[in-house]
Amino acid sequence: MSFFKKLKESIASKTESVTRQFKEGLEKSRKGFVEKVAELVTRRKKIDEDFFEELEEILIGADVGVNTVMELIDDLRKEVKQRKIEEAAELQPILSEKIRELLRGDEDNSIRMNPDGITVILFVGVNGVGKTTTIGKLAHRYKQQGKKVLMAAGDTFRAGAIEQLEVWGQRVGVDVIKQQAGSDPAAVMFDAVQAAKQRGADILLCDTAGRLQNKTNLMEELNKIYRVIQREIPGAPHEVLMVLDATTGQNALSQAKLFGEKSGVTGLVLTKLDGTAKGGIVVAIRQELSLPVKFVGLGEKMDDLQEFDSEQFVHGLFSGLIDESEQDENEEEAANTNV
């Protein structure tokens, strides 16, 4: 059985709506990357040095990352040698399989929940990446699951940040714990933790500033927030999620490296994946940071923030080729049956 067929069977057990969201959310990347690969395969037909050079250009253009692309091309060369592959078309399922392997890793993508009380999730990231929107959508997601959720407006530095979180609170029916703009973020977190305890909350989602006067100030603020939360709830925060804007490509990777080094990040959220043709950034980030991608933003709707799933991602990215591959296999089987 081919890789594409195995993948399709594995996906069949998952919800149809999630599969559709990944497929629709990755449409730009599919056109900007997979369709170029398909065109290359059709045009070149034979695997030679020129074929690998063009494939390399396509992968780098899709923001897969230079280091990752070099490793991937080396792996494909080995596969071609070992399996004695000559036709370029035979390389397509191998490429998708390799991408899935790069994305999987050993980490668990699920959010670590506190089994003994309030789960605290802290969000970090620079301004403009969709941090507040992510918090709002996640609050909606957990509320739909029947959990009691609170949000903490810890970004007291950016103008309008508290109001923006309040708007999301009203939309999803979740209370926001806040103080005035310019207040001490650690004091807001203290109030939020006390409120969560008093109200019997299951989950506390905490916004933080994306920028202060300099990086040192920002890290000092984050450390202060950690200390306050840890003092009140041992073992918290249970997750520190860094939010990145997928449309910024390699800049998102640079941000993650700079910001994530000292801020104790445990996982990543990639927003606006539906708005970029360079979905390969997911592969680059996953490889170069060795951090699990926990959620991806696949659209504007409230439920378009989805848990990251490597199978769904590869299926969404290669969906056109998967359908073609299945059709070819069915035709081949029918031909063999008629012989």
- Global model pTM greater than 0.85: yes
pLDDT over 80 at 105, yes or no:
no
Question: Which among 25-39, 214-228, 254-268 has the top mean pLDDT?
Answer: 25-39
Question: Is 86 inside any structural domain?
Answer: yes
Q: Indicate which CATH number applies to the domain containing 15.
A: 1.20.120.140
Predicted local confidence at residue 338, as pLDDT: 54
* Residue 239, strand partner residues: 121
138 plus 223 within the same structural domain: yes
Predicted local confidence at residue 9, as pLDDT: 64
71 plus 131 within the same structural domain: no
Sheet of strand 203-207, all strands in order from the earlier edge strand to the far edge? 175-177, 149-153, 203-207, 119-124, 239-245, 267-271, 293-297, 305-307
136 plus 102 within the same structural domain: no
Question: Is 24 inside any structural domain?
Answer: yes
Question: Is 112 inside any structural domain?
Answer: no
Predicted local confidence at residue 50, as pLDDT: 93
Could you list the residue range(s) of the whole structural domain that residue 76 is in? Answer: 9-107+315-338
183 plus 48 within the same structural domain: no
Predicted local confidence at residue 8, as pLDDT: 61
Give the residue numbers of the binding site for GTP: 125-132, 207-211, 271-274
Give the residue numbers of the binding site: 125-132, 207-211, 271-274
Question: Is 114 inside any structural domain?
Answer: no
207 plus 332 within the same structural domain: no
98 plus 236 within the same structural domain: no
127 plus 97 within the same structural domain: no
Predicted local confidence at residue 326, as pLDDT: 46
Predicted local confidence at residue 33, as pLDDT: 86
* Weakest mean pLDDT among 144-153, 237-246, 257-266: 257-266
CA–CA dist 86, 122 (Å, integer): 50
State the average pLDDT over residues 157-183.
96
pLDDT over 70 at 221, yes or no:
yes
Predicted local confidence at residue 115, as pLDDT: 93
Question: Which among 15-29, 175-189, 311-325 has the top mean pLDDT?
Answer: 175-189
pLDDT over 50 at 113, yes or no:
yes
Predicted local confidence at residue 321, as pLDDT: 61
Question: Is 229 inside any structural domain?
Answer: yes
* Weakest mean pLDDT among 3-7, 20-24, 61-65, 211-215: 3-7
Domain count along the chain: 2
Amino acid 59 reads L
**Of the candidates 7, 41, 2, which has an alpha carbon nearest to the alpha carbon of residue 311?**
7
Interior angle at CA 266, CA 24 and CA 165, nearest 5:
65
176 plus 258 within the same structural domain: yes
Question: Which among 14-28, 48-62, 105-119, 201-215 has the top mean pLDDT?
Answer: 48-62
Predicted local confidence at residue 141, as pLDDT: 96
pLDDT over 60 at 336, yes or no:
no
* Weakest mean pLDDT among 69-83, 86-100, 143-157, 174-188: 86-100
pLDDT over 90 at 238, yes or no:
yes
Q: Return the percentage of the chain with pLDDT > 90, whole number.
A: 52
160 plus 290 within the same structural domain: yes
SS in 3 state form for the chain? CCHHHHHHHHHHCCCHHHHHHHHHHCHHHHHHHHHHHHHHHHHHCECCHHHHHHHHHHHHHCCCCHHHHHHHHHHHHHHHHHHCCCEHHHHHHHHHHHHHHHHHCCCCCCCCCCCCCCEEEEEECCCCCCHHHHHHHHHHHHHHCCCCEEEEECCCCCCCHHHHHHHHHHHHCCEEECCCCCCCHHHHHHHHHHHHHHHCCCEEEEECCCCCCCHHHHHHHHHHHHHHHHHHCCCCCCEEEEEEEHHHCHHHHHHHHHHHCCCCCCEEEEECHHHCCCCCHHHHHHHHHCCCEEEEECCCCCCCEEECCHHHHHHHHCHHHHHHHHHHHHHHHHHHHHC
248 plus 290 within the same structural domain: yes
pLDDT confidence tier of residue 144, bands split at 50, 70 and 90: very high
pLDDT over 50 at 249, yes or no:
yes
State the average pLDDT over residues 6-14.
62
pLDDT over 60 at 295, yes or no:
yes
140 plus 287 within the same structural domain: yes
**Of the candidates 110, 99, 113, 129, which has an alpha carbon nearest to the alpha carbon of residue 279?**
99
| Range 65-68 contact pairs with CB under 8 angstroms and sequence separation of 24 or more | 65/250, 65/253, 65/280, 65/281, 65/283, 65/284, 65/287, 65/288, 67/287, 67/288, 68/102, 68/283, 68/284, 68/287, 68/288
Predicted local confidence at residue 217, as pLDDT: 81
pLDDT confidence tier of residue 41, bands split at 50, 70 and 90: confident
State the average pLDDT over residues 31-48.
88
Question: Is 4 inside any structural domain?
Answer: no
State the average pLDDT over residues 46-70.
92
Question: Is 3 inside any structural domain?
Answer: no
Question: Is 233 inside any structural domain?
Answer: yes
Predicted local confidence at residue 213, as pLDDT: 52
307 plus 319 within the same structural domain: no
Query: pLDDT (tens digit, 9 = 90+) per residue, 320-335?
Result: 665 554 444 444 444 4
Q: Indicate which CATH number applies to the domain containing 304.
A: 3.40.50.300
